[in-house]
A and B are shown apart, each in its own frame.
Chain A
Amino acid sequence: MSRALALAHRLSGIALAFFLPAHFWVLSRALELDAFLAWTEQPAVKAAEWGLVTLLALHLAGGLRVLALEFLPWRDWAKGLAALAAGFTVAAGLAFALAL
């Protein structure tokens, strides 16, 4: 489980690193925000937004797991962290999907 989560953590990080410049670029054009927001109403864009939120939640959860393993005194409960991280990701994705 840890290996799968670690791979997902890395892939989500790469995806976010590519996404962020685009995100910053769009936001810097705040004057045309309404036209952009109209475009974001499309279902394909909504789906992409959900994907990004899920990737972000996944990367955060995986990252918190790494920080816990590296800085907190753990024993056997470390094994459960991967599952916890996966659970948080699903929850965040659901929350966003419901909000849409």
Chain B
Amino acid sequence: MSATLHVRVWRGGADGAFREYEVPRRESQTVLDVVTHIQRALDPTLAYRFACRVGMCGSCAMTVNGAPRWTCRTHVDTVARDGTLTIGPLRNLPVIRDLVADMREFFDKWARAQGQFKGRRTRADDFERISPESEARRRADAAIECIGCGVCYAACDVVAANPAYLGPAALNRAWTLVNDVRDAAQPERLRAVAGDDASLACHTHMSCTERCPKALSPTAGIAGLKRAVSRAALQGKL
């Protein structure tokens, strides 16, 4: 193991370039450690995001050697096989500066997929009783842990090819709500996730499922949406 890492980091906006840094290599070092070292010791103008640094918040997601990852959970030993690292902002999103991507479109699409819960009851009503063992709740629970980190969105080839595609995270969220029997917005939601720019555009490359740091499977949720949407279309309910 060499004593230094050769690190290429994206600097600037969309028309920026990679700049090279030499970073001392340490045991159990993560890629976030590397970025932090560059900013503190080598170049204070480097812009990047992080928060918890323990694999809970998803803020530190970046492109490492071509793949989107949580940098706080990526050990340098796993990715820098020949002592080099290339770090850039998440793909498929506009770059604000350096390693910081503009997440607005990601969350706008979440809203466009009807990714918000709409309840039927008021505070005057009794609680709705949902069994966690029910089929629908199991399906929702399998997809519910998404924290909106954007890794799946960055990994998705269809997002890259179709700027209007809602993307795996937004559709995964819609899937959890389609399976929420308390939700009152199902007809609008099914309409939102139907069509060329929504669930039907997914080609099951499964990059989202492969890269999700929470081991979720947007592919499975999107397949469920495809079935729900086609059933609705055939029944004239879309």
Same complex origin of A and B: yes
Binding site for B on A (CB under 8 A): 2-3, 6, 10, 65-66, 69-71, 74, 78-79
Q: Cα distance A2–B208 when bound, in Å?
A: 11
Give which listed residue, B157, B207, B210, B219, contacts A69 with CB less than 8 A: B219
Q: Is the CB of B205 within 8 A of A69?
A: no
Q: In the complex, what's the smallest C-beta–C-beta distance from A79 to chain B, in angstroms? A: 8
Give which listed residue, B204, B223, B227, contacts A6 with CB less than 8 A: B204
Interface size on B, residues (CB 8 A): 12
Interchain Cβ contacts under 8 Å between A and B, 6 examples: A3-B157, A3-B206, A6-B205, A66-B203, A69-B223, A70-B226
Q: Is the CB of A78 within 8 A of B206?
A: yes
Q: Which positions 4-25 of chain B face chain A at CB distance < 8 Å?
A: none
Considering only CB atoms, which chain A residue lies closest to B203 in the complex? A6
Q: In the complex, what's the smallest C-beta–C-beta distance from A59 to chain B, in angstroms? A: 14
Mask, B36-74, CB within 8 Å of A = 1, is 000000000000000000000000000000000000000
Which one of A6, A65, A70, A74 has the highest number of Cβ atoms from chain B below 10 Å of its Cβ?
Answer: A70
Q: Cα distance A78–B210 when bound, in Å?
A: 11
A-side contacts of B220, CB under 8 Å: 74
Binding site for A on B (CB under 8 A): 157, 203-207, 210, 219-220, 223, 226-227
B-side contacts of A78, CB under 8 Å: 206, 219
A69 in contact with B227 given A2-B210, A3-B157, A74-B220 (CB within 8 Å): no
Q: Cα distance A79–B206 when bound, in Å?
A: 9
Q: Is the CB of B227 within 8 A of A2?
A: no
Q: Cα distance A2–B220 when bound, in Å?
A: 14
Q: In the complex, what's the smallest C-beta–C-beta distance from A83 to chain B, in angstroms? A: 13
Considering only CB atoms, which chain A residue lies closest to B204 in the complex? A69
Q: Is the CB of A2 within 8 A of B223?
A: no
Give which listed residue, A2, A10, A70, A71, contacts B206 with CB less than 8 A: A2
- Please give me the 7 A-B residue pairs with the lowest Cβ-Cβ distance, nearest first: A2-B206, A6-B205, A70-B223, A69-B204, A3-B205, A2-B205, A66-B204
Q: Is the CB of A3 within 8 A of B204?
A: no
Q: Is the CB of A2 within 8 A of B204?
A: yes
Considering only CB atoms, which chain B residue lies closest to A2 in the complex? B206
Q: Cα distance A54–B152 when bound, in Å?
A: 32
Considering only CB atoms, which chain A residue lies closest to B207 in the complex? A3
A-side contacts of B223, CB under 8 Å: 69-71
Considering only CB atoms, which chain A residue lies closest to B223 in the complex? A70
Q: Is the CB of A70 within 8 A of B204?
A: yes
Which one of B205, B206, B210 has the highest number of Cβ atoms from chain A below 10 Å of its Cβ?
Answer: B206
A-side contacts of B206, CB under 8 Å: 2-3, 69, 78-79
B-side contacts of A2, CB under 8 Å: 204-207, 210
Q: Cα distance A8–B180 when bound, in Å?
A: 37
Q: Cα distance A66–B205 when bound, in Å?
A: 9
Q: Cα distance A90–B223 when bound, in Å?
A: 28
Q: In the complex, what's the smallest C-beta–C-beta distance from A51 to chain B, in angstroms? A: 24
Q: In the complex, what's the smallest C-beta–C-beta distance from A72 to chain B, in angstroms? A: 9
A71 in contact with B227 given A2-B210, A3-B157 (CB within 8 Å): yes
